[in-house]
């Protein structure tokens, strides 16, 4: 018996998405770092990406990198969030490369790398307008110069991250700025910059547009592989699967009920206002999953299934035409927000299948 609720992850479709993107980007001179964080570093997912030809794996959590290594995933590992300074020893032990923006942290990585007698590679992230992580361009030369001098530290390259916090779109202009910064570093410091990591799934429209890619030779992709969509407008990417992942939840109540609540209406469990319109009686179904496990806004049911509300442990749907039987399984597609929450809920199982 399969457990419910669960995520079903079709690894053939994941492989196809990753392989297709790797091929298209390689033709543009861009390698792909496969980002595993949304799956909490699942070894099945990671191995599918490696078979598809990603050049390395990236994760924002050192714990996920450790669990992939523990499961014998063989790959270069990149920590794509700035390390906590208190994690420096773990970072040099388990990650080959880390993304950094604070010289204090890089100094500590150097201390720990000396203790561990290993080389740790550092990629410096630059702020280009989205106002999440990144060194201000004016401060870059100083940080590059110090980084290159630190014992047991090698400068891997530079990168940027757009779209995630403010929705700033990667485009010809900010990507050209990144290339100019690379050239500027090389002429000012005589260091050579090998890896230029231009961004995430939000960069695909730019990267595949035919525009000059300049010095950018790497992207870090998670969501586009998982969900088959670009992330600026969430449009499907040509020839990718948008249904590689399905959420399955189970019916625990199924009744014909009024559509309009009765009584004085105040706040709901999550502060929203309850329904006020009367649509007569409806076929109302409760599924055993809730806001603790998913983002109800990010679920898409099959035709005839409408999501009407949710509380911590209940998802309320309406079905047209048919009453859903108790114990029945109902399937949904998920957006990134719903997927993240489902992956991190201990109440939702994972089923990786071929
Ligand atoms: C999560 C993350 C990515 C991957 O983003 P997707 O939108 O899932 O492709 C890339 N880079 C950094 C720094 C990230 O944190």
What is the domain count for the chain? 2
Q: In 251-268, which positions are buried (b, 16+ CB within 10 angstroms) versus exposed (e)?
A: beebeeeeeeeeeeeeee
Residue nearest to atom 12 of ligand 1 (CA): 80
Of the listed 13, 37, 260, 306, which one is catalytic? 37
Residue 277 confidence (pLDDT): 86
Task: Give the separation between CA 326 and CA 307, rounded to whole angstroms.
Answer: 18
Among the candidates 227, 254, 283, a domain finishes at 227
- With a 6 A CB cut-off, is 161 part of the ligand 1 pocket? yes
Average pLDDT of 110-119? 98
The band of 150, judged by pLDDT with boundaries at 50, 70 and 90, is very high
The boundaries of the domain holding residue 342 are 245-353
Give the CA distances from residue 253 to residues 259, 283, 312, in Å, rounded to whole numbers and listed in that order: 16, 10, 16
255 and 163 fall within a common domain: no
Region of 271 please: left (phi>0), alpha (psi -120 to 50) or beta.
left
214 and 322 fall within a common domain: no
211 and 326 fall within a common domain: no
The band of 268, judged by pLDDT with boundaries at 50, 70 and 90, is confident
Mark whether 37 is an active-site residue: yes
Average pLDDT of 52-60? 98
Ligand 1 nearest-atom number relative to CA 197: 11
Residue nearest to atom 14 of ligand 1 (CA): 80
- With a 6 A CB cut-off, is 60 part of the ligand 1 pocket? yes
DSSP summary character for residue 84: P
- With a 6 A CB cut-off, is 39 part of the ligand 1 pocket? no
SS (H, E, C) 137-180: HHHHHHHHHHHHHCCCEEEEEEEECCCCCCCCCCCHHHHHHHHH
116 and 216 fall within a common domain: yes
- With a 6 A CB cut-off, is 6 part of the ligand 1 pocket? no
What's the CATH code of the domain at 206?
A: 3.20.20.10
Among the candidates 198, 227, 256, a domain finishes at 227
Ligand 1 nearest-atom number relative to CA 224: 9
Best mutation site among 60, 200, 203, 224 for ligand 1 pocket (most ligand atoms within 8 Å of CB): 200
pLDDT at 267 over 90: no
210 and 257 fall within a common domain: no
115 and 42 fall within a common domain: yes
255 and 209 fall within a common domain: no
- With a 6 A CB cut-off, is 46 part of the ligand 1 pocket? no
In tens, the pLDDT along 70-107 reads: 999 999 999 999 999 999 999 999 999 999 999 999 99
249 and 209 fall within a common domain: no
Q: Is there a domain that residue 232 lies in?
A: no
The band of 183, judged by pLDDT with boundaries at 50, 70 and 90, is very high
- With a 6 A CB cut-off, is 221 part of the ligand 1 pocket? yes
The proportion of the chain whose per-residue pLDDT surpasses 70, expressed as a percent, equals 99
pLDDT at 272 over 90: no
How far is ligand 1, taken at its centre, from the CA of residue 221, in Å? 6
pTM of this structure: 0.96
Residue nearest to atom 3 of ligand 1 (CA): 200
Best mutation site among 59, 222, 228, 232 for ligand 1 pocket (most ligand atoms within 8 Å of CB): 222
71 and 207 fall within a common domain: yes
The band of 1, judged by pLDDT with boundaries at 50, 70 and 90, is low
Best mutation site among 35, 99, 221 for ligand 1 pocket (most ligand atoms within 8 Å of CB): 35
Within a 13 Å sphere around the CA of 243, how many CA atoms are in the beta-carbon half? 5
90 and 136 fall within a common domain: yes
In tens, the pLDDT along 12-28 reads: 999 999 999 999 999 99
Best mutation site among 100, 164, 227 for ligand 1 pocket (most ligand atoms within 8 Å of CB): 164
- With a 6 A CB cut-off, is 218 part of the ligand 1 pocket? no
Which residues are registered as beta bridge partners of 10?
A: 353
93 and 222 fall within a common domain: yes
- With a 6 A CB cut-off, is 241 part of the ligand 1 pocket? no
The band of 354, judged by pLDDT with boundaries at 50, 70 and 90, is confident
How far is ligand 1, taken at its centre, from the CA of residue 234, in Å? 15
Contact 76, 120 (CB under 8 A): no
What's the CATH code of the domain at 322?
A: 2.40.30
Q: Is there a domain that residue 342 lies in?
A: yes
How far is ligand 1, taken at its centre, from the CA of residue 349, in Å? 24
Q: Is there a domain that residue 265 lies in?
A: yes
Task: Give the separation between CA 207 and CA 216, rounded to whole angstroms.
Answer: 9
Average pLDDT of 339-346? 97
How far is ligand 1, taken at its centre, from the CA of residue 200, in Å? 5
Q: Is there a domain that residue 210 lies in?
A: yes
15 and 153 fall within a common domain: yes
């Amino acid at each position: 018996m399969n457990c419910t609720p669960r995520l079903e992850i079709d690894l053939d479709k994941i492989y196809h998405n990753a392989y297709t993107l790797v091929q298209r980007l390689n033709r543009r001179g861009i390698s792909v770092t496969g980002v595993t964080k949304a799956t909490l570093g699942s070894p099945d997912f990671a191995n599918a990406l490696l078979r598809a030809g990603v050049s390395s794996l990236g994760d924002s959590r050192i714990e996920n990198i450790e669990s992939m290594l523990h499961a014998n995933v063989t790959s270069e590992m990149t920590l794509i969030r700035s390390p906590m300074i208190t994690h420096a020893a773990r970072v040099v032990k388990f990650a080959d490369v880390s993304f950094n923006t604070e010289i204090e942290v890089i100094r500590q990585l150097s201390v720990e790398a000396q203790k561990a007698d290993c080389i740790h590679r550092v990629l410096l992230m630059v702020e280009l307008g989205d106002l999440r992580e990144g060194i201000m361009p004016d401060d870059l030369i100083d940080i590059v110069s110090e980084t290159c001098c630190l014992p047991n530290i090698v400068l891997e390259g530079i990168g940027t991250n757009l779209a995630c916090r403010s929705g700033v779109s990667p485009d010809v202009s900010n990507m050209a700025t990144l290339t100019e910064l690379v050239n500027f570093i090389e002429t000012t410091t005589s260091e050579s910059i090998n890896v230029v990591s231009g961004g995430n799934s939000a960069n695909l429209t730019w990267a595949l547009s035919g525009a000059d890619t300049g010095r950018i030779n790497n992207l870090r992709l998670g969501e586009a592989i998982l969900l088959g969509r670009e992330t600026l407008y969430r449009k499907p990417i040509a020839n990718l699967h948008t249904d590689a992942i399905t959420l399955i939840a189970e019916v625990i109540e199924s009744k014909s009920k009024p559509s309009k609540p009765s009584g004085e209406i105040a706040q709901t469990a999550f502060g929203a206002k309850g329904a006020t319109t009367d649509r007569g009686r409806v076929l109302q179904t409760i599924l055993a999953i809730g806001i603790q496990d998913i983002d109800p806004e990010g679920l898409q049911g099959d035709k005839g299934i409408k999501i009407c509300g949710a509380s911590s442990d209940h998802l309320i749907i309406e079905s047209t035409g048919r009453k859903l039987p108790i114990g029945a399984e109902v399937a949904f597609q998920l957006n990134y927000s719903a997927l993240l929450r489902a992956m991190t809920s201990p109440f939702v199982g994972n089923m990786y299948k071929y």
